[in-house]
Amino acid sequence: MRILICILLYILNSELATAQDSIRVFGATVRCASLNSSIWEPSQRGLDSSSNKFVLMYTHSPILDKEGISIQPVIAVICEELSSPLNVIDYSLWKRKQVSFIVDSIYSKYSSTLSYWNGIGYAAHYGRNSLVHKLFVGHFRHKHVGVQVICDSTEGVYEAVEQDFRSFLRSVTLAD
């Protein structure tokens, strides 16, 4: 009986650990981890008609930093169709021209920060409205689909969400 309970708990735990979300968009399947819905609220999911990009966005419940400012970290997945199969370096450089940040570290599947080979990850920061933002960014490409993952927080509450950022970025894969 005890063994049976252990097995059931193991299976349940495995299921929770591998709970995945899946987006079928522009002929590709983008998979990523399902976030804890008690703290990460899905705030957008669908095709943005003005940009023709599929957007999946989660907003964290407010966290007070040391200054008493209420911060809501964001995790966003933005999928777009590319007219040409850009290599992932060019895709990433192109995206960084549009969405600039200061790179602190570069990651990949090789560094075990990502699990999908055709992706570049960054630990980065930028400043806005007197706040330093700390973020993880991933740029992925599969055939004619490019995916940006932006995990954005401020320095003051970064520690509270860093593990979620890392886990989410690592969970992203693309396939047909």
Partner 1 sequence: MRTTSFLFLLAVGSNFVFAQKSVTPDPVLVQIDSQIDSLSHIADSYPPDINPEDSTAVQAAVAFCDHIVDQLEALLKNESGNAGLHRRLGEVFRMGHNLNIKGAGQNAVEHLTTAIKLDPSDPDAYFSLGLFYVNANFEFAPEAEQMFRKALELSPEGSPSYAYQGLAFAYYYQGKMEESVMAWHIFLSLHPDSESAKNLLKIALGKLSH
Residues that bind partner 1 (CB under 8 A): 48, 51-53, 55, 57, 59, 62, 69-74, 76, 78, 82-90, 92-95, 98-99, 101, 103, 106-111, 114, 117-118, 120, 126, 128-129, 131, 133, 135, 137, 142-143, 148, 150, 152-154
Instruction: Give the angle 139-106-113 at the CA atoms, nearest 5°.
Output: 75
Smallest separation, CB 10 to partner 1 (Å): 30
Measured CA distances, 105 to 111, 114, 118 (Å):
11, 13, 17
Q: Which is nearer to partner 1, 33 or 146 (CB)?
A: 146
Q: Return the number of the residue (10 or 117) whose C-beta is nearest partner 1.
A: 117
51: left (phi over 0), alpha (psi -120 to 50) or beta: alpha
| Residue 103 per-residue DSSP state | E
Quick one: tokens of 134?
């700390």
User: E strand or H helix at 24, and its extent?
Assistant: strand 20-25
Q: Which of residues 14 and 41 has its CB atom nearest to partner 1 in the complex?
A: 41
- Minimum CB separation from partner 1 for residue 19, in Å? 23
